[in-house]
Chain A
Amino acid sequence: MFSYLIRRIVGAIVVLIGISIITFIIAYAVPGDPARAIVGEKASEEVVQQVRHELGLDQPLYVQYFAYINRLLHGDFGFSYYNNQPVLDLVLSRLKDTALLAFSGWTVEILIGIPLGILSAVYNRKIADYIISVLSIIGISLPVFWFGMWLIYNVAFKMGILPIGGSGSIMHLILPALTLGIAGAAYYQRLVKSSMVDVYNQDYIRTAKANGASPLRITFKHSLRNGIIPAVTYAGMDIAFLLGGVVVTETVFNYPGVGQLAMQSIQRLDVPVIMATVLLAAIIVVVVNIIVDLLYFLIDPRISLT
């Protein structure tokens, strides 16, 4: 168990180093001259050179990389090229709203996906199951941003019952959370259904049935408990999916989170901010995945972590 944890953490560090290298290379490949971008078009070549030197941009690539890592380890993510604020402050000031949105999206996934999954497993191959399955595959095929637009037009604009965009209250959160969560809900539905149906076909459930256990008891006592395990593992993948969806959702709803910041920075080629957001997202994904693995172990004692 302990050795497993160590191994996972070492693996995670390797992954994070890989990610920092990739983001660094991408950032380096960004066309255009950041030094020129900072001082503006009118500045003289000398000033540009000086800024370049101050930023260390005239040094070899690997030196720049190690300098970058060194700064990261000291919590220094640099300054935004665009408005010269510390990147970390910029990101952290928006993190709360994004975390709130991601969590609400995840709540939608769980609240819609799991009950529908149970329902379609209990009524497997009956009309309710077919309807849910059709809805579910449509949910998976639904583009996040289109669904967001559709909600804005119909619910916010035409019916006027919810705000069109922005943040600040629960009301502001409802449409973005629905948008973000609907595809994930469809995944959870499929996952829960298929693993529960698998469990239904196991001998021990047949035994329970033969012993006269009620269908409800079978569902909640035996089948659901085992059916939920793959859903927990999926949560690890889900976090990466949610963080991607956040970028689109925040842009559609003009929601002032990290995703919107990332999108704006990409359009402005604000390299330090892009790198910080990508790195932050990766760290979150890696950490959540380790937690999920440990959780998985706690839920299912058959899994040995060696």
Chain B
Amino acid sequence: MTNPNVSTVKASAVSIQQQVKKRNKFSRFARSYPLIIIGGIMVFTLAIMAVFAPVIANHNPITQYPEGLSDIGTPIEPNDNFILGTDSLGRDALSRVVHGSIVSLEVGIFASLISLIIGVFMGIVSGYFGSWIDMIIMRITDTMLAFPFLLFVIALVAVLKPSITNVYIAIGILGWATMARVVRAEVLKVKQLEYVQAAKALGSSSFPILFIEVLPNIMGPVIVMGTLAIGQNIMLEAALSFLGIGVQPPTASWGNMLQEGMRIYQIAPWMIYGPGIALIWATLGFNLLGDGLRDWLDPKTGR
């Protein structure tokens, strides 16, 4: 007869051992790839800020508070009530910065997803099928890359009418060329490996080969590029909104807050810092995470 307690104790001892093992593994990982951890934490705080924006912000981001303006109608500098000060309409800068993270993440993620999907598809088709398909797609990417990207996006958004959706659509459909190039180069490497030939010999047809055999083996660079793209696209959205052709007020975006800051920096310099630091936090977070992921997943193609 075995005592059931003994086995539970044993089991829990084992599970503690496993936990310790796991923790060791994690700390070793953290020491080898500190950028993933730092960048990951920065991105995570950003996500928390966006998800819990109404809870975190202590004011409504679009309400123009009468007490948010001084007697002569100028913005109020940071104080206990308005922690990051107010803008020229008496709105709370902190609440607007917090809500701005929603726009930034939305545009950053959706724009990157769109260019990721187009880029991966184009790159994979061009790399795998080669010949004239490859030639046409590569000429198109050459064309896309020859444009000054920012100017092109500005022109397209202006034509489509500025809005959050149009901003990420414009960034997304114009930004896939680099991704396509990278994916194509990876596919060219992978497709000559024998397991791809083996799948062909086993009777698999082109598209299953592409998606079952090739795609999983090029995901490393794709994840890295996707992460870096989110940071770049957040910056791009801010630039568009700053130029007045991105997200339109009263919706809070860091870019349009900075546009206002540019106008009133002489009397309200805090309007440069709040949204500016949030923006740098976001782009820096994704860049660090992307660089870290590259060291981890894709050590060979690091810059």
Contacts and interface: CB of A to CB of B under 8 A. Distances in A.
A244 B149 contact: yes
Nearest to B283: A141
A138 B243 contact: no
Interface of A: 11, 14-16, 18-19, 22-23, 26, 29-31, 137-138, 140-146, 149-150, 152-153, 157, 190-191, 194, 237, 240-241, 243-245, 247-248, 251-252, 259, 262-263, 266-267, 269, 274, 277-278, 281-282, 285-286, 289
Given A19-B147, A26-B156, A266-B154, 5 more contacts: A137-B284, A141-B284, A142-B280, A241-B148, A285-B147
Nearest to A143: B235
Range class of the B interface residue count? 35 or more
Contact of B280 (A30, A141, A149, A282): A141
Nearest to B145: A240
Contact of A150 (B140, B147, B245, B272): B272
B300 to A, nearest CB: 11
Nearest to A237: B145
Interface stretch (B2-10, B11-19, B217-225, B258-266): B258-266
B287 A140 contact: yes
Contacts of A26: 155-156, 159
B291 interface: yes
Interface of B: 139-140, 142-143, 145-152, 154-156, 158-159, 161, 231, 235, 238-239, 242-245, 258, 261-262, 265-266, 269, 272, 276, 279-280, 283-284, 287-288, 291, 302-303
A281 B147 contact: yes
A143 B279 contact: yes
Contact of A19 (B146, B159, B291, B303): B146
Given A145-B242, A266-B245, A18 B151 contact: no
A287 to B, nearest CB: 10
Given A143-B239, A149-B258, A240-B147, A278 B244 contact: no
A1 to B, nearest CB: 21
A170 to B, nearest CB: 24
Contact of A145 (B146, B258, B280, B287): B258
23 contacts: A15-B143, A18-B140, A19-B143, A19-B147, A29-B159, A142-B280, A143-B283, A145-B242, A146-B258, A149-B261, A150-B276, A240-B145, A240-B147, A240-B149, A248-B150, A262-B151, A263-B154, A266-B158, A267-B158, A274-B155, A278-B151, A278-B152, A282-B148
Which 6 pairs between the two chains have the least Cβ-Cβ distance?
A244-B150, A18-B143, A141-B284, A243-B148, A141-B283, A244-B148
Contacts of A146: 238, 258, 272, 276, 279-280
B94 to A, nearest CB: 18
A6 to B, nearest CB: 16
B243 A248 contact: yes
Given A15-B142, A194-B302, A267-B244, A144 B239 contact: yes
Contacts of A240: 145-149
Contacts of A289: 146
B140 A245 contact: no
Nearest to A268: B158
Nearest to B279: A143
A31 B159 contact: yes
A141 B272 CA distance: 16
Given A137-B287, A142-B280, A146-B279, A22 B302 contact: no
Contacts of A191: 303
A166 to B, nearest CB: 15
B257 to A, nearest CB: 11
Contact of A149 (B142, B143, B262): B262
B154 to A, nearest CB: 6
A282 B159 contact: no
Given A15-B146, A149-B258, A285-B146, A278 B155 contact: yes
Nearest to A28: B159
A141 B143 CA distance: 26
B239 A31 contact: no
Nearest to A17: B143
B1 to A, nearest CB: 61
Nearest to A190: B303
A152 B151 CA distance: 23
B89 to A, nearest CB: 20
Nearest to B147: A282
Contacts of B145: 237, 240
B143 to A, nearest CB: 4
Contacts of B156: 26
A157 B265 contact: yes
A277 B269 CA distance: 34
